[in-house]
Amino acid sequence: MSGDEASRRRVKADAHFIRAMSYWILVNNYCAPYAAANMNSLGLPLKRTVDYEESLKRASLKETYDFILADIEEAKK
């Protein structure tokens, strides 16, 4: 991997932010509204790795929002 450490950290932070934003857009278009009563309903399939053979099953709405928040926290580092 080329580039200095600061550039690599910026690219990684950008990737986490863009993934979080993309999932946020998807969850708002295709899932139940964010409310305590809906947290056990179906969320999105979460792609956690770059493995093409990763099994994708739909997570709960709570797991989906937790995944989005974790990506935002990772981007803030």
Closest Cα partner for 32 from 6, 65, 10?
A: 65
In 10 A of CB 64, how many CB atoms?
24
Q: Exposure string (b/e) for 19-56, b if CB count within 10 Å is 16 or more?
A: bbeebbeebeeebeeeeeeebeeebbebeeeeeeeeee
- 24-72 pLDDT, tens digit per residue, is 999 999 999 999 999 999 999 999 888 999 889 999 999 999 999 999 9
What's the rounded Cα separation, in Å, for the pair 43 and 60? Answer: 5
How much is the pLDDT for 20? 97
74: pLDDT strictly greater than 90: yes
